[in-house]
Amino acid sequence: MSAADDVPRPGSRAWHRWFRIQYRIIRWLDPLVRLWWSRAGLGDTVELTAPGRLTGRPRSVLIGLLEADERRYVGHPNGPVAWTRNLAEAASAVVRWPDGRTATVRAVPLPAGAERSAAIRATFVQHPFPGNAIYHLADRHIEAVGAFFRLEPE
C-alpha cells in the first residue's frame, strides 16, 4: 500500500477496500477477460485507450460504457486510478467496440451534480450482473469518491 492509500477518503473505507480487491482480481484475469470480450463481448464493455500521463505510450483498459440522456460516460467507482488519471491528463481517447468499430472522444470530467449522478445510476441497469448490483449497494460511496467522465465525439 502506498502513502496515498492511507489518506482518509470521504467514502466508505470498506467499499474502498472491496473495490481495490475486486479490481486486482480483474487485472489478474485480464488476458482471459480480453479474450472473452474480443470473441463474445461483455455487456456494455469497450476498450478505452489513452496515452499514459508519464510515458505517453498508449494505455488500454476494458471499461463499461454507460449511456444516459443520449450521452456516453465512463467512470471508476473508487475514485482516481491510473486510467482515469491518464484520461484526465490526455483529455481524449479512442474507444473500441468488440466488433472493431472505433471512435475518438474527448473526455470531460464530471463534477458532483445531477449529470454525474445520472451516469452513476445508469450502471444499475446497464452493467451486467454482478457489477450492477455492487454499484447499487455502494451508491453512496461511489457518489462520494467516484471519478466519472462524459465522452463527446471529437
Q: Where is pLDDT greater, at 49 or 21?
A: 49
Place 7 in a pLDDT band, splitting at 50, 70 and 90. Answer: very low
Could you tell me which residues come within 8 angstroms of residue 121 by beta carbon, excluding any fewer than 6 positions away? 68, 139
Backbone phi, then psi, for 140, in 5-degree steps? Answer: -65, -40
Dist. CA 121–CA 117, nearest whole Å: 6
Q: Where is pLDDT greater, at 113 or 20?
A: 113
Q: In what order do the strands lie in the sheet with 58-64?
A: 58-64, 45-51, 92-96, 102-109, 147-153, 71-76, 66-68
Q: Which of 40-49, 80-89, 123-132 has the highest mean pLDDT?
A: 80-89
> Given a cut of 90, is residue 74 above it in pLDDT?
yes
**SS3 (DSSP) at 101:** coil
